[in-house]
Every structure is written in C-alpha cells, then in structure tokens.
C-alpha cells in the first residue's frame, strides 16, 4: 500500500525523496543462486525480521479466545474499534462437523485439538468431504473437563467416546506425509476403526497427530512455496493454524449471488452461510474483505500473525 501511495504521489526511482511520511522509500533486492534453498531465503527473512521489524509478542500456549472479544487489525485501533469476534469453531476431525464454543484454549497448533484427527482409507488415502460426503454428518464435541471427545453419526446407534489422554492408545504409531508436511501419528484399535468405517460406509482408520515437521514444498510450477513458516506447527489444517472470515465479506458475496440470479445468469439465488467455509473464527463490524489486507491482529490480549501470501 505504501508503494502504491508513493507512486501516486509522483515518487520515482532515483529521485531525492528518500523519506515520505516518516518512512524510507527504498527497496532491497536479494538474489539467489541455482543451488539456493527455501531455508536460505528463510534465514535471510528471519534476519530482517529480527533486526528491523517490530513484531507483536507471540501468544503463549493455553491462552484462551472468547467470543465478543474486540478485534484490532494492524491498521490502527481507532479505525477498527468496531471489529468483534463473533464465533469460535473447533473441528477435531478433519472434514467432519465441528462445534462452536464461547471460549477455547490455544495451543502451539492453534485452537486446542483443532484438526488433530483424520480418517485414512485402507489404501492410504486421506478421506475428505469431497471424496466422502457422509463425513459431513459425523458430529464431534470435546469435553475438556472430562478429557473425552464425543462422536456421533446417523449411521451408528452408539455414541463413540474417545479418551484424549495420550497414554490411552492401545494401537501403535506410524508416519504419514500430507501436503509437504510429515506427521507422526497414533492410531486406535479395531473397535474405533470399525465405528468410523460404518459411519462413512467404507473401511478406514482414525489417526491422531502426535507431532509434525515442516519441510519446503514445491508449487506446480516448481517454485518454492513460501507461505508456511518452517517453525509453524500444524495439525492436519491445510495451510495455517486458523481460518478467519468476516460476516461482511460473506454478505457481500451473497449480494453478488442475488444480483446474478436476478439477471438470470445463474438461476436461483443461493445464499451462503459463513460456516460453509469451515472457519475457526468469524468476525463482524468492518468492511467486506478488509481482512484480506491485515498483516497481524490482536484478539483480547493475544496477537496473531497473518501470512502475506496464501497459495
């Protein structure tokens, strides 16, 4: 944004305007060789960040998010005083239904227990709603006080109860790879797998993330994927620890869909609920798509960094 503003103000390369509105206008280009790696680039970015950039303090584990908390973007407190966190949703099992809470603890992987489990077929394929639509009918709820995850399905008469204690695994451990991420996972005995196999209509196993390790990945054009921090710890989330969306953005989308329906371009209007996007955090009170420009936000007393690029 500063670059565009400077250009619109008449600033060009090699002029005498080194400082505009108290900020330097220069740029630094870093060149890499053929053998340079993602880690090389990351080390340079870390050096710039630690030496020249003011960063918010990282949130401590076990902090708690609460709905109705005020949300502030990096654009300034006064301008964004109207933003609030409306809902918090946790999705324990990847691609299954989540549950909403008024408050929830944070961990090093995001919302505690969010996307900590997944289902894998006997052929090794990771199951998702795109491949197995019946997964959307599997509901989950975690009682932190009891240390139990409750799972229900219309296909199963009995409610499944899974103990959250890490020492309760009668199964074993293995290693899997998912989206350029290597995971150490724990699995369960046959009775749990049989319950989920019946719930989705095909043989599968329930896996729980024990630990994960990032390593650099390549895009389809063979370029390095820089959107993930190599120090970032993920469960089975696709890209980042949290997915945030605003009600205003979804409302604008619905208005566009209604206009298209009125013009007869797409038939009957379809109204989208924010939960269609499976967000962890839903906010309200701002302009549509304002969240796309945020670099960091503060919810309550907790600071969050937002990736500048999403692939």
Buried b (16+ CB within 10 A) or exposed e, 105-120: ebbebbbbbbbbbbbb
Asked if residue 180 has pLDDT above 80, the reply is no
Task: Give the pLDDT score at 59.
Answer: 41
In tens, the pLDDT along 219-232 reads 334 343 433 444 56
Q: 116-125, 159-168, 199-208, 217-226: which range is least confident on average?
A: 217-226
Percent of the chain with pLDDT over 70: 77
Span 155-178, mean pLDDT?
80
Closest to 102 measured CA to CA, from 62, 67, 70: 67
Mapped onto helix, strand or coil, the DSSP state of residue 76 is coil
Its pTM stands at 0.70
Candidates 36, 45, 30; CA nearest to 227 is 45
What burial class does residue 200 get, using C-beta atoms within 10 Å of its C-beta: 0-12 exposed, 13-18 middle, 19+ buried? buried
Comparison of pLDDT for 76 and 288, the residue scoring more? 288
Tens digit of each residue's pLDDT (9 = 90 or more) over 40-97: 888 888 888 777 766 544 444 447 888 877 777 665 444 445 789 999 999 999 999 9
pLDDT band at 246 (very low <50, low <70, confident <90, very high): very high
Instruction: Identify which has the larger pLDDT, 280 or 168.
Output: 280
Contact 44, 82 (CB under 8 A): no
Of residues 218 and 203, more confidently modeled: 203
Instruction: Look over the chain and give the mean of its residue pLDDT values, rounded to a whole number.
Output: 80
126-149 pLDDT, tens per residue? 999 999 999 999 999 999 999 999
Identify the three-state secondary structure at position 191.
Answer: helix
Q: Please state, in angstroms and rounded to a whole number, the distance separating the CA atoms of residues 189 and 204.
A: 12
Q: What backbone torsions phi and psi does residue 196 show, to the nearest 5 degrees?
A: -70, -35
Cβ atoms of 110 and 62 within 8 Å: the answer is: no
In whole angstroms, give the CA distance from residue 93 to residue 104. Answer: 17
| pLDDT digits 0-9 by tens, 108-120 | 889 999 999 999 9
Task: Answer whether residue 194 shows pLDDT above 80.
Answer: yes
Residue 198, pLDDT score: 96
Band of residue 213 on the pLDDT scale cut at 50, 70, 90: low
Q: Which of 285, 181, 223, 206 is nearest to 36 (CA)?
A: 223
Picking from 209, 232, 219, 217, the residue whose alpha carbon sits closest to that of residue 94 is: 209
- CA distances (Å), origin 162, targets 121, 140, 148: 20, 11, 5
* Mean pLDDT along residues 191-214: 88
Interacting residues of 254 by C-beta distance below 8 A, sequence separation 6+: 271, 272
Residue 307's Cβ-side half-sphere holds a number of Cα atoms within 13 Å equal to 16
């Amino acid at each position: 944004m500063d670059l565009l503003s400077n250009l619109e103000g008449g600033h060009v390369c090699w002029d005498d305007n080194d400082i505009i509105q108290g900020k330097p206008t220069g740029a630094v280009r870093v060149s890499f060789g053929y053998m340079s790696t993602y880690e090389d680039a990351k080390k340079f970015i870390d050096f710039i960040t630690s030496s020249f950039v003011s960063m918010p303090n990282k949130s401590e584990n076990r902090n708690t998010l609460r709905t109705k908390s005020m949300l502030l973007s990096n654009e300034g407190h006064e301008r964004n005083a109207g933003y609030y966190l409306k809902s918090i949703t946790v999705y324990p099992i990847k691609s299954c239904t989540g549950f909403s809470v008024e408050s929830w603890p944070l961990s090093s992987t995001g919302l505690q227990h969010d996307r900590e489990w997944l289902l894998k077929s006997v052929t090794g394929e990771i199951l998702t709603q795109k491949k197995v639509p019946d997964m959307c009918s599997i509901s989950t709820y975690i009682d932190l006080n009891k240390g139990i995850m409750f799972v229900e399905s219309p296909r199963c008469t009995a409610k499944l109860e899974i103990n959250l204690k890490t020492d309760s695994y009668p199964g074993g451990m293995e290693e899997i790879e998912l989206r350029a991420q290597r995971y150490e996972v724990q699995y369960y005995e046959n009775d749990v797998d049989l319950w989920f196999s019946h719930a989705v209509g095909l043989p599968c196993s329930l896996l729980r993330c024990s630990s994960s390790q990032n390593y650099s990945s390549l895009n389809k054009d063979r370029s390095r994927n820089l959107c993930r921090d190599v120090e970032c710890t993920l469960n089975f989330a696709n890209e980042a620890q949290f997915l945030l969306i605003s009600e205003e953005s979804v409302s604008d989308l619905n208005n566009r869909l209604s206009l298209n329906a009125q013009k007869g371009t797409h038939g009957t209007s379809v109204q989208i609920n924010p939960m269609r996007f499976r967000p962890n955090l839903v906010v309200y009170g701002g302009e549509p798509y304002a969240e796309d420009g945020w670099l960091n936000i503060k919810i309550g007393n907790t600071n969050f960094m937002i990736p500048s690029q999403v692939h």
